Structure formats: C-alpha cells, structure tokens
Chains A and B, each alone.
Chain A
Amino acid sequence: MVYYKLVFGIAFLPIIMIMYQLTPRTKRWGVLLIANIIFYSTFSLRRIVYPVAACGIAYLTGLLLEYLQGKKNKKAGRIVLTCGICALLFVLLHVKYTDFFFDNIRALFHLEEKGFFAPRNYLLPLGISFYTMQAIGYLADVYWKKTGAQKNPARLLCYLLFFPTVMEGPIAPYSQMKESLFGGASITAEGVMAGYLRLGWGVMKKLVIADRIAPAVAYLFDEQRLASGFGVVLAAVLFTVMEYMDFSGCMDMVCGIASIFGIELPENFKQPFLAKNASEFWRRWHISLGVWFKTYIFYPVSMSSMARKWRKFSKKKVSAHTSNMVLSAMALLPVWLCNGLWHGPKWTYVFYGIYYFVVILAELCLEPVGDAMLGRLHLQKESRAVAAVRMLKTWIIILIGELLFEAPSLQAGFTMLGSLFTKSSALLPIADGSLGIDGRDWAIVLAGLLVVLVVNLMRERGRNVTGEILRMPLAFRWTLALVLVCVILIFGLYGPGYQEVDLIYAGF
C-alpha cells in the first residue's frame, strides 16, 4: 500500500483520520503508532523487527546518554554515543552493503569460483536508510542536549516509523517533530482540504508525469542498447525529470498527509532547477538529507581537533582562501562519500558522491576567479543574463550527475557520456512510440511540466499556492480541484494493465 493507491486515499487514510479524531488528544499518537504498524506490515510484517530493533537501540542509548549527562561524565557519554551509532550503522551496513562489499572482494581477488562469501541477497527493510538516519540524529541531539531523551519507547517508535515519512523521508529531526507528533492536534476541515489537495498534486506528478516517462528512461538506459548522441541528452533530461517528479511528488503526498494530522514536515524540495551552482542545488534538492549531513557530519568534522590543528598550522603558512579550501575539502569528502553510498551499494552512486565533491570544491576554488572575470566584464553577478548562464551551467552539472547516477554501471555511464561527442548525434524517433511512449504521452508530459513550472515559479516568489487556492471563491477552488481529479483519473497510469513503477527513493 503506497500513498498514491486508491485503497490508501479513500480507505486507510480516512479510517485513521476518524479513529484519530475520536481518540482523546493525549492518546492520539497511539492511533498514529497503530497506523504506522499497519502501514509497515502491508509491505512486510516480518521485517518490522528491524525498525523495532533500531528503536530499541536508540531508546536505551538515549536514556543512558541522559543519565551520563546528569553525572557529568562526558567521556562515557561519548563512548555510549559512539556505541549506539555503531550499533545502528551495523544493521544498516550489514543489510544494505554486505553483498556489495564481498562482491568487490571476490572480484578483486578472483575468488568467484571458490564461492567465497556467496551473496546473501537480503531484502531491504522498508525505509531502513531513513529511520536509521533519524535514529542517529536523535542520539546526537540528545548528546548535544538539543532535546531530552524520550522516556516512552512506543513514542520513539511512532516517530521512527511515522507512516508518511517511513518510505522516502523527509528525514525530520526528532526535536522538530515531537511536539506536533505527540501534541494530538485536532483534524480541521481546512487541514483536510489542504492535505488532500497537496496529496492530489503529488499523485498527479507521480502517476501522470513521472510514470509516463518511465518506459522511455528504461529504454534509453538499457544496457543492451545504450543511448548515444542525442539519445544521451534525452536520457539524462528524462531521467532527471522523472526522478524529480517521482520524488518531489512523493514529498507532496507525504507533507499533505502529515499536515492533515497537524504535523508540519520539513520541505525536501525548493525549486532545485533554479539553482545557480551545485551547492545551491543541494540546498534545494533533497534538503533534509543535505541538512542531516551538514548537521551530523560536516559540522562535527569542521569542529574536530584535526580541523582545529589545521587552522592553527595553516594560519601563517598559507593564504586564508587556501586554508579554507583544505578545511572544506576535509569536511566535504566524508559528506559526499556518505551521500553517494547512502543511495545504495553501487559504484555509480559512490562516483555520484565524489562527482559532487569535486564539482562543489571546484566551484569554491574558482569563485574568486569568476567574480574577478565578471568585474572585468562589468557584469553584475545577480543580473538576469549572468544568472541564466549560471543556471544553464548548473543544469549541465546536474544532467551529467544524473546520467552517471542512473547508468547501469560506471563504465556504461562513461560510454554514454563519451558517445555524446564521438558518435554522430541522430535524432531518435521520439513521437512514434519507439521509446515506449507516443506523441500523446509527450503532449501530456509537456503540459504537466508546464503546470508544475508555473506553480514552482509562484512558490519561488514566496507564494503559498495551496493557501491561495483554499482562499479562492468556492467555484474557482472546486473547479481547480475537480480538474486535478479528472487529470489523475483519465491520464494517470494506474489500474489493471499498467506496470506499476515503484517510488525511486523507496529503494534507497
């Protein structure tokens, strides 16, 4: 049962809403906990043991940390925190990366024939990458006294397993969520309207746009007939659009569902394609992941004793710019390695992380040069023309990244990139259905993208689109909502005969 399924929207969610509203305020989180367990068990009841175990580790470690804080025993606190994080990471690494690790060992030492550590083919527990990060974040926050330890393990489980966020995030900090999650705010009519409107918007992005592009993406990235020339550009553009519509669509659904229960989740996307450099792109794309890495890896590394030593050492030996560059590199490398690996056990993902590490570092290095050039040309950095060029440059960076990310292998990715320049670019038969989608599909996709673009531009200007729609006269808002329903009903890819396309980030 996923958020865009009929059974979720018209049966599961309304039943939970009614039960939630009928329960006394202080116990409403219990209804959410039951909903979380039911939702999780629709994927696998057996594998719920993983998040329960993660919750147990986080719960006990949190209590111990608080106890040691009371005793003012910092050293023991650090050891307990390290142990707690290691235990959480052990489960994640074991389930997600064991096969990857031993596959590489076997390949490196030619041990395939000896059957050395045969692949285990673990089935990933739903949301393991998300709830593990939330649990680690919770422990660090308790350690840093940003929040107190949760005394009730069921409440902690409710947070880690929260059904809207367990599949794809956003990775919401405990300190940010606890009040609204356990506050038991009443469901309001306006909340339901806003929530369902956003849920519908997300479903439209997923079922009408993303899933419609999916066959073309599968065709273009097929290892047997890797795209070349123009096909490579098309592959990169289509995958980027599909991934954005799929992931941001899911986030719209998730935020809409949570808001019905009065829970405001952090936004995960902020018009990423309007970014003017790679760093800004990552402040607009999968924001909660970026914030998590910044809070729990970048800052701790930047403040580490090694970083302090470097600052002291470099003060008199190198320029401030160089010193900062080295420091940034020191903190960014683990961030981007983890970012790449977080997506899954594949070399393409690892390279994706390294790629952004290099690009962002290069941007930092070249920033003074760029500024100087603009000065010489008497151009304002914030002028529209310069902004457009910078945006275009960022798009190219994004597209190359996404191409390498989705390629079946690193070698295939580079082959595709190479063929862009070496093979003659031939226009693919786009409209005749050869890519798995025909002219009508393209029309639907382009119309959908245009609407999404308009809404995104409105959001970029700080407008609350959902709020504005709800404040419109009844006839207008009903018309808009009914049009959205019609578009999903008619043009959505669902029902018998359609190959369901799984949510991309639910697999990470």
Chain B
Amino acid sequence: MQVSREGKKWIEIAAFVLCVAGLMAVLSGVFDPMERGLSQAVNERDIYVISALGEPENTIDTAILGDSEALVLADPSSLGEKTGRNVYIIGQSGQTLSEAYEALQTLSEKQKLTLVLLEADMLADESNIRRDLTESFDTAAYRVFPVLRFHGIWKPMTGGKMPQVPAHERGFSLRTEEVPYTGGEYMHPTDQLSPICITSEWLMDRIVKYCKEKGIRLVMVSAPAPLHFSMEKHNALADYAKKRSLAYLDLNLLTEEIGIDYETDMLDGGDHVNLKGSEKITEYLAGYLNENE
C-alpha cells in the first residue's frame, strides 16, 4: 500500500507525539524528588504530601486532607497518641478536590488507610465548572507525567540551593501567632443552602467512591473559620453528607464544647486556628474518634 506524502507527514506527527510522551515519561523518572532524595526541594504546596510519601510503607492509617485549614486543624502526633492511630496531614495551601483525590490515591498506593478526615472547605468554597475542569485536567496530567509537577527541582539537582521549606510535624504547621476574631456571631440560623458547583460535587463523589472501594472511613470536617464560614455552607455540606451517608463534623457549631476562644485561638483574625486552637480541636477530635471507632 502506497502512502501519500501528506499521509507520511501525519504518520511523522503521530510518531513525534509518541516520542514526546516517551520523553516525558523518561523525564518524569529523572525528576522524581523521592528517587533523587530531594523530597524537601519540591514546591512549598507539595511538601506535606511528598513528606507523607516518604514515610515507611504501611505506617500511616489516618490522613487529614484539605486546604490551609487542614494544615493547622489538629496535631497528628498528639491525635495519634490519643487514639492509637498513625495520623498524617496531606494538605496543601488552597488544595482542590482534584488534588485531594490525587494525594489520597498516591498515598493509598503505599499506605493502608482506614480513616480519612476531609476538611470540607474545598467543597463549600465558591467554584465553577471551568476552574474545576481545568484543575482536574492539570492534576491528571501531573499524575501521568510527574515532570510537569516536579520539574522545578532541576535547580537543587544541579547543585543549587535547596528552597526553604516551612517547618511542619507530620504535615502539621505549628503556628503560634494570635490575631483575635472580633466579628461576633456568624452561624446565624437559616434553612438556606449555599450552592455547591456540580463539578465540585462530582469531584467529591470520586473521593467518596474511592474511599468506599478501599474500605476507608471518610469523615467530613469543617474547621472553625468565622471569617468565611456560614450556616448556609453548613447546611449545604450537611445535606451533601446526609445524602451520601457520611459523617459530618462541623466544628463551627461546637466551638463552646471544644472551648475555642476567638480572642486567643485564632491565627489571623478568623480564617484559621493557631496552635492553641489546634490543641483544643485535637483533644475534641480524639474523643470523637474514640467514641465513634
């Protein structure tokens, strides 16, 4: 069979695309931070997830997922001591649901997880189809070709300075700053539900399905965040959890029980808790987990 000149060129393009895919696979091996011993050289957002991947196999059974709220939510070591679990926070500043799913999948390949606490901010935050789809695409591409995610380590690989990474203890950021929240009551009773984007719901459903398949117990948690949390968000998340038969722990409604003092336990005026707040939440969570084992 004779192939036309144009046909040959299309074959060349197809061959080149395959070649690029092969090159990316090779580069992904070269730029593997774990293999190169450069797990501390990845970008700041990924440091907690990568650190968790560096733990010995089957030593983590509980993961806390979520955005910056999750990074300060509870002290994993203390929570572990109180519950007999091995806890690690695999959060990222501004973590998206696609990233949470990807982190969960990657960690599950090495660890036998039995419990996941998911800080539900990612689901309740304003999102849109465009953002969700683009981020899912990017996250999937990073998973297939990790060079797209870790190419930045070329500097330390060539003898450059290691970037300064934030101090953390099993993914937990020890933040002692105190900026009180002074805005007063924020959980005003209402039946209204804040909207959840359909793509965000779909992305969350993937996590729920994955946990079910792997026999992981999934608990949704909302950290005290008077600056951006509301009863509408609570209602939406509670509704979502109820429909999927998930446990949902909204700490915004339990601040008195936990003993959160907005004068002393806030890191930045009401967006995140500080170390004092985390200690109280750790205590509460330990009790909750022990009771609901």
Q: Which residues of A contact B (CB under 8 A)?
A: 1, 5-7, 11, 41-42, 188-190, 192-193, 433, 438, 440, 474, 478, 481-482, 485-486, 489-492, 494-498
Contact = CB atoms under 8 A, between A and B. Distances in A.
B137 A7 contact: yes
B12 A189 contact: yes
26 contacts: A7-B134, A11-B137, A41-B130, A42-B134, A189-B6, A189-B10, A193-B13, A438-B155, A438-B161, A440-B155, A440-B158, A440-B160, A481-B16, A482-B20, A486-B27, A489-B24, A489-B148, A490-B27, A490-B31, A491-B154, A492-B151, A495-B151, A496-B142, A497-B43, A497-B46, A497-B152
B32 to A, nearest CB: 14
Contacts of A491: 151, 154
Given A5-B134, A440-B155, 12 more contacts: A188-B6, A433-B161, A482-B23, A489-B24, A489-B151, A490-B31, A495-B149, A495-B152, A496-B45, A497-B45, A498-B43, A498-B152
B137 A6 contact: yes
A474 B8 CA distance: 12
A320 to B, nearest CB: 58
Contacts of B24: 489
A6 B154 contact: no
B23 A42 contact: no
B198 interface: no
B211 interface: no
Interface in B169-220: none
A478 B19 contact: yes
B36 interface: no
B283 interface: no
Q: Is the interface of B mostly helix, strand, loop or mixed?
A: helix
Contacts of B43: 496-498
Contacts of A494: 148
A31 to B, nearest CB: 20
A332 to B, nearest CB: 44
Contacts of A497: 42-46, 152
B125 interface: no
Nearest to A189: B9
A492 B46 CA distance: 18
Contacts of B6: 188-189
Nearest to A485: B20
Contacts of B137: 6-7, 11
B87 to A, nearest CB: 24
B151 to A, nearest CB: 5
Interface in B23-37: 23-24, 27, 31
B264 to A, nearest CB: 33
Contacts of B160: 438, 440
A474 B130 CA distance: 39
Contact of B23 (A6, A474, A486, A496): A486
Contacts of B147: 489-490
Contacts of A486: 23, 27
3 nearest A-B pairs in the assembled complex, by CB-CB distance: A497-B43, A189-B9, A189-B10
A414 to B, nearest CB: 37
Interface in B1-59: 6, 9-10, 12-13, 16, 19-20, 23-24, 27, 31, 42-46
Interface size class of B (residues with CB under 8 A): 20 to 34
Nearest to B47: A497
A333 B155 CA distance: 50
B94 to A, nearest CB: 10
Contact of B27 (A42, A489, A492, A496): A489
A490 B46 contact: no
A7 B136 CA distance: 10
Contacts of A42: 130, 134
Most buried by B among A41, A190, A489: A489
A494 B19 CA distance: 22
B289 interface: no
A478 B23 CA distance: 12
B168 to A, nearest CB: 16
B50 to A, nearest CB: 11
Contacts of A474: 12
B152 to A, nearest CB: 7
A189 B149 CA distance: 31
B271 interface: no
B280 to A, nearest CB: 32
B13 A192 contact: yes
Nearest to B139: A496
Contacts of B13: 189, 192-193
B61 interface: no
A495 B16 contact: no
Contacts of A192: 13
Contacts of A482: 19-20, 23
A264 to B, nearest CB: 20
Contacts of A5: 134
A485 B21 CA distance: 11
A192 B20 CA distance: 16
A478 B16 contact: yes
B232 interface: no
Contacts of B134: 1, 5, 7, 42
B9 A496 contact: no
A489 B23 CA distance: 10
Contact of A190 (B9, B27, B99): B9
A6 B12 contact: no
A433 B155 CA distance: 13
A97 to B, nearest CB: 29
A6 B151 contact: no
A190 to B, nearest CB: 6
A494 B44 CA distance: 14
Interface string B110-153: 00000000000000000000100010011001100001110110
